[in-house]
Structure 1
Amino acid sequence: MTATTAPRPARRLPRKPAQATPATVARQPRLFTYARISSKKQETGTGIARQDAYAEKWAAENGFVLDRELRLEDLGLSGYHGDHVRRGALGRFLDAFDAGDVLPGEGLALESLDRLSRQEPVFAREHFDRLVRGGIRIITTSDGKEFSLAAYREDKTRSLWAELVFMRANEESETKSRGARSALKTHCENWQKGARGFLVGSPRMFSEAKGRITRGTDPWWTLYDPATNSIRLVDQGAAAVRRLVALYMQGNGALVIARRMKEEGFEIGDGTGKHWNTFQVQRTLESRALIGEKVFEIEGQEYALEGYYPPILKPDEWDALRLFWKNREVPRANADVPPILTANGVAFCGSCGHPLIASNQYKSRAKSGRVFIRRLRCGHSIKKDGACRCEVDSVLAAPIERAVLTFCGEQSNLDRLFRSDASANPAAEKLEAKRTEAVSLQAKIARYEERLEDEDDPLTKTERKVLRDTETALERVTAEVQELEREARVGTHQKVSTAKEWSALQKRVLDLDPDARMKARKLLADTFERIDLYMHPDPKADKSAPVHVRLRSTQGAMIGLAVDRRTGDIVGELSKVPSPEKLTEAKHTSRAPRKR
């Protein structure tokens, strides 16, 4: 891979408070030392000690003072990819120079110019020339050369020498990188062909010499065992991952998961003492190492090594996790009282089809004290100059929640929702439609391919473009079919909820127990594809009339309920339920919003 990292733009940092004499007053110039070590083997060498000794000698001979407080070291950062500039000590030195904390006339000592950069010469020279033009004297301790404006005036070939060093350094790194990529690619191809018994990449293992775990490229819940030449799961790490996945599948967000993992005593087993954070949670959930795969991307091609790690999740569990990740439409629960209806992207205003939102408030009551109240509103009605055709601003969320929980607490109602009716299953209908589209595209491509070999009736330029576009469309539709088939497998293995589960949660949910509400929210997402709320279904009726709730299950069954807006009692079932097609055609009204 050629290092084509763009030059780092100069950033202006706030100046540090002046602790010495102003820059305009003459002072003894400082000499800074910079060392970059890109591999662990270089840490045991004597290069840094030699560099410090030479820098101290050079500073004394040239009237400089060696700055021992600011030691610039980049350990394990690549000069070939520019990591030392983007997030290392050299980048901070450049920032300090731009901010005026490093003054013209001061020096920077390093072992060789290739320590400054191994990027392509055009990018390496950008940082080098920036320092030299700014008056910084760069000293290479390996050969005693100085690179500065004064040195350029004495020796015109000094700039050419720097260019040659940068070219040689980049070529060496490119050759090493090319060889490493080739070896890694060979290992990956051999693994995919069935070869085993070797490692691909650096393993995560315990180093007796260092007395700690070296991280390598393996996930933190694994460990390499040299005695058996195999990778095993760390018991505590595997338990932590399983708990993390369980919390996520309950609907918790990364912030809540990180807090809960810390509270429950689970640790990140990477040997660095890091605490749980949202990035670590998301990175773990995205890792295909959960199903035992190690993934590399080499020269734009992905290599998935199946069975490289012991799996934590089964294939159907992984599919369910990815489907849950894909379908999340709103932030996960980070509130003290997790919402149920509005948190899964299934609740909509029946009048206009816009998603429902929740508004929370606390009110003081003489008898019960401070009371939490949540109301459901049409999301369109709160927009500026927006208005929903419904004449009612909002309804209390608790009565609607009580009605849904009560309805699902009877097994006969759940049986009606999950009746076996493939023709009413929207997921099955979508899958069949995509399969039909794929067959149609394949037939179209076949017709064009027949004419590719026909000299009497060759394809025109336009038809060749249509063929390429059709092949691209087929690839897209094929991927969609595979995804829908994966979702169908998840639905097949998914356990249907029971009335007993709903009834056991009802009281705790209405008492605002967070864990119970998270479980109920998961049940609701697994049971219903859509819930439409008609807050004022009959304009001629009183505004205290029952709320109409239309339930559409994941199997396509639809049931309408009339719910008392104050108590949550189900006062009846609706004989006529608006069709999804009619709801889809509904438009927002253009009338002016009500005056509040």
Structure 2
Amino acid sequence: MTIVAYSYQRFSSLDQIGGDSLTRQSTLAESYARDHELELDNRLTIRDLGVSGYRGQNAVHGELGHFLTAVRNGRIAPGSYLLIESLDRLSRSNILQAQNLLTELILAKINVVSLVDNRTYSEASLTADPLALIFALIVFIRANEESSLKSFRAKQAWIRKRDSAGTQVMTSRVPDWLIVCKATGQIVARSERAEVLSTIFQLALDGRSPFEIADHLNARGVCRWRGSQPWTRPTVSTLLRNRRVTGVLPLYIATHDNGETSRRPIKLLADYFPRLIEPEAFLKVQALASTRRRGGNAAKLNVFANMLFCAGCGAPVRHHSYGEYGRAILACDGARILHGCNASGFDYDAFEIITKKQLSRWIHDDLPWHQVSDPNQHVFRAVQELSDLQSSLSPRSPGGAKRRAGATFYAEVAKLEDQIDDLIFNEHGFNAKAVKLTSKLAAYLDEEIYENTVRVKCNMLLRQLGARLVVDFDTGWVGLSHNKGFERSWSMEENP
């Protein structure tokens, strides 16, 4: 029976793609398979190009991870060979993770071959020579130490660049509407792109949607800055949300926890880039965009999407998936562009738990239904009209079947029902329609776990109620209001 071999090729930087690394690894694998009469499966050559093995990402999210899944599912036959240039191509992670990866492959009956030193790691070889495993561990330790040193040096170099960013350019990579001048070393605007950017924001300020702005640019033959494709709604939306147009540079630091890499914001640099859009205009565009949004995908992450505002500067407060230790945060738009606000981020999960319980209390405690008198008897007359109209549904009534099928009939019923809802109020000034909405909301808020559909419905109901949440980042107080003014406030320090 022919034994199949698979070649695993990896390098950590895409800059190496122009060198001989890939050719060298391929040649070694082909030569070994030929000399040992193995069938090299070229259809499943596994390549992680530009993927580092230092954090173990190649074994989690890379092609090596897919190979491991195929081994676990039995699609890779026991006794197969995995050919790698050296063990450090397999992993440069810490010794425990690297050893676990090699052990899993060996126990799955996969023969791992290190081509540069012609060593085979299998149950049979390690049983015959247990010290070979020590050699493998030494290779893993050395590889990890090399990567750790490179990572440390790169991090220190980046810290030096970051600390000097106020006086010199950190990197030549800048937003598409800017360029680093070779003569002066300064970041300057590309005049023609700056004009396009100004047009985009002016159209947004005039109330045009991203879709309409994209159509406007395409109709006038304005070229995209990347590629040859036409302007699209997502492209325009991304530009309208990019705070770098105000000149600010956000700085982050990478964190690595449990094999996952996340970035944490550390500070903002004002006027690092040329300011092409004034902060006031930028914030106004964000506010206009909020009025058009209907929750949707945003509500899946943030139940209170498009109804949160900063008590300090009045700017919208938004959900961001990155924060300290990789946790989601709420951050003020004004603070995120250093525009007269220094509000710090707030942990979103804690905010949602407490606010959800406070909203539930507000509905159950503060909105009991109390029908008030109707001195002008508008409600009585509307109910009587509705009753008369609905009685016409009777098949025995003249023309009943014809009216029953007509759209006008249902429009008349809906109109009368709305009139009744608008005319009946409880003691807190909520009409019947609002009370119906709050009763639906209460049912959703009582759920222990939010599914995406439930989160979107909660967001929709809150916005239909005109809910507005004002967050005071300094004191930790949250105020709930609707079209009748503030109704409730609470501290985020309170025990919910």
TM-score normalised per structure 2: 0.55
1:292 aligns with 2:289: no
Spell out, residue by residue over 1:148-193, the C-alpha distance to the aligned partner (whole angstroms, 9 max, x if none): 222212322221111111111111111111111111111221233x
Helix, strand or coil at the partner of 1:102: coil
What corresponds to 1:226 in structure 2? 182
1:129 aligns with 2:103: yes
1:36 aligns with 2:6: no
The structural deviation recorded for 1:287 is: 4.0
- Correspondence list, 1:41-52, <5 A: 41-52=15-26
The structural deviation recorded for 1:84 is: 2.2
Tell me the amino acid that sits aligned with residue 78 of structure 1. S
Q: What is the alpha-carbon distance in structure 2 between the residues aligned to residue 272 and residue 333 of structure 1?
A: 30
The structural deviation recorded for 1:131 is: 1.0
What corresponds to 1:380 in structure 2? 438
Q: What is the alpha-carbon distance in structure 1 between the residues aligned to residue 240 and residue 284 of structure 2?
A: 12
1:313 aligns with 2:277: yes
Spell out, residue by residue over 1:347-405, the C-alpha distance to the aligned partner (whole angstroms, 9 max, x if none): xx9xx779xxxxxxxx986799999x89693212446889xxxxxxxxxxxxxxxxxxx
Q: What is the alpha-carbon distance in structure 2 between the residues aligned to residue 87 and residue 249 of structure 1?
A: 44
Tell me the amino acid that sits aligned with residue 531 of structure 1. N
Describe the shift of the 1:241–1:163 C-alpha distance in structure 2 as closer, same or farther (beyond 3 A). farther
Tell me the amino acid that sits aligned with residue 214 of structure 2. M
1:55 aligns with 2:25: no
Q: What is the alpha-carbon distance in structure 2 between the residues aligned to residue 156 and residue 272 of structure 1?
A: 59
What corresponds to 1:261 in structure 2? 214
Helix, strand or coil at the partner of 1:380: helix
The structural deviation recorded for 1:321 is: 5.3
What corresponds to 1:243 in structure 2? 200
1:331 aligns with 2:328: no
- Correspondence list, 1:76-87, <5 A: 76-87=50-61
Identity over aligned pairs, percent: 24
CA contact (8 A) 1:261 1:267 kept: no
Q: What is the alpha-carbon distance in structure 2 between the residues aligned to residue 48 and residue 168 of structure 1?
A: 22
Tell me the amino acid that sits aligned with residue 50 of structure 1. R
Structure 2's unaligned 5+ residue stretches are 255-263, 298-305, 310-362, 369-403, 422-432, 445-467, 490-496
Bigger Cα displacement from structure 2, 267-276 vs 286-295: 267-276
Q: What is the alpha-carbon distance in structure 2 between the residues aligned to residue 126 and residue 274 of structure 1?
A: 48
Instruction: Give aligned pairs, total.
Output: 341
* Aligned equivalent of 1:477, options 464, 471, 474: 474
Tell me the amino acid that sits aligned with residue 132 of structure 1. I
Q: What is the alpha-carbon distance in structure 1 between the residues aligned to residue 124 and residue 231 of structure 2?
A: 51
Q: What is the alpha-carbon distance in structure 1 between the residues aligned to residue 180 and residue 410 of structure 2?
A: 58
Higher Cα Rg, which structure: 1
1:171 aligns with 2:171: no
The structural deviation recorded for 1:132 is: 1.4
* Aligned equivalent of 1:200, options 145, 157, 170: 170
What corresponds to 2:327 in structure 1? none
Helix, strand or coil at the partner of 1:96: helix
What corresponds to 1:456 in structure 2? none
Q: What is the alpha-carbon distance in structure 1 between the residues aligned to residue 283 and residue 55 of structure 2?
A: 35
- The structure richer in helix per residue is 2
Q: What is the alpha-carbon distance in structure 1 between the residues aligned to residue 21 and residue 95 of structure 2?
A: 24
Describe the shift of the 1:147–1:366 C-alpha distance in structure 2 as closer, same or farther (beyond 3 A). closer
Spell out, residue by residue over 1:4-54, the C-alpha distance to the aligned partner (whole angstroms, 9 max, x if none): xxxxxxxxxxxxxxxxxxxxxxx4222111211222332222222222222
What corresponds to 1:531 in structure 2? 483
The structural deviation recorded for 1:293 is: 2.5
Describe the shift of the 1:244–1:78 C-alpha distance in structure 2 as closer, same or farther (beyond 3 A). farther
Helix, strand or coil at the partner of 1:104: coil
What corresponds to 1:567 in structure 2? none
* Aligned equivalent of 1:115, options 67, 89, 93: 89
* Aligned equivalent of 1:88, options 46, 62, 74: 62
RMSD: 5.0
- Correspondence list, 1:425-444, <5 A: none
The structural deviation recorded for 1:105 is: 0.9
Q: What is the alpha-carbon distance in structure 1 between the residues aligned to residue 204 and residue 410 of structure 2?
A: 33
The structural deviation recorded for 1:317 is: 2.9
Q: What is the alpha-carbon distance in structure 2 between the residues aligned to residue 86 and residue 238 of structure 1?
A: 44
Structure 1's unaligned 5+ residue stretches are 1-26, 205-217, 335-342, 355-362, 387-425, 435-475, 485-528, 533-551, 553-579, 586-596
The structural deviation recorded for 1:238 is: 6.9
Tell me the amino acid that sits aligned with residue 175 of structure 2. P
